[in-house]
Amino acid sequence: MESLPLAVVSTGGAYWFPAWSNENLTPLFFQVRNNAGNTIIIRKILAGNNSKGNYFDCGGSYDLGPGECSSIAPLMNMSITIPPGEEACFGNWVLPGYGCKERTYWLVPVDFPRVYPDVLPALRTECNHDGTGSITIENFGFEYDELIEGHTVTKKQISSKPFSVRCAGQCAIVLSPNWHVECG
């Protein structure tokens, strides 16, 4: 049986975050491994019937409040190069204990009412308000370029099964001493 070129090899759990009135955001960490024999460049995350081809590069600016990273960080076109056998991570600057904070994005329900550059409407199910449960993303995958013998071949990989991740807790806005987000 042939393995898929890209595989999610670990997740850090999803979090429930009541960002503003009647709209919740879900930060999620995951790592992807390149199982192909060639270099892959991820161009988009696919989820539901949506895709995201950019992210905010928050770099070392982890201690900012919600929205601050995306108001000062550059919006980057997704071009994540993964050599054969190597891994890349996707994360969010508010998540505790994860080294991948540079590729910031948020997940929201598929029927999310607004469009933001760092939000991917993807969730079929969300975390419960107490931070328990799981999230489910249908049609999860990637659009990527594979470098084959000097040629670039654009491909898509979409999972035939829903991508489900256990919820690990809640995030909250802390107003003092400095406005920031804490998750746990």
Domain spans of the chain?
6-183
Q: Can you give the pLDDT at residue 15?
A: 84
pLDDT digits (tens, 9 = 90+) for 120-179: 888 889 899 899 999 999 999 999 999 999 999 999 999 999 999 999 888 877 766 666
Average pLDDT, the chain: 79
| CA 22 – CA 26 distance, rounded (Å) | 13
CATH architecture of 6-183: Sandwich (2.60)
Give the range among 38-42, 43-47, 149-153 with minimum mean pLDDT.
Answer: 43-47
pLDDT-derived band at 64 (thresholds 50, 70, 90) equals very low
Q: Can you give the pLDDT at residue 62?
A: 44
| Amino acid letter for position 144 | Y
Q: Can you give the pLDDT at residue 68?
A: 52
Q: Can you give the pLDDT at residue 133?
A: 94
Output Rg (C-alpha) for the chain, integer angstroms: 16
- Across 10-23, average pLDDT: 75
Residue 9 vs residue 2, higher pLDDT: 9
Q: Residues near 118 by Cβ (< 8 Å), separated by ≥ 6?
A: 54, 55, 56, 70, 75, 104, 105, 106
- Work out the percent of the chain whose per-residue pLDDT is above 70: 72
| Amino acid letter for position 87 | E
- Across 64-82, average pLDDT: 66
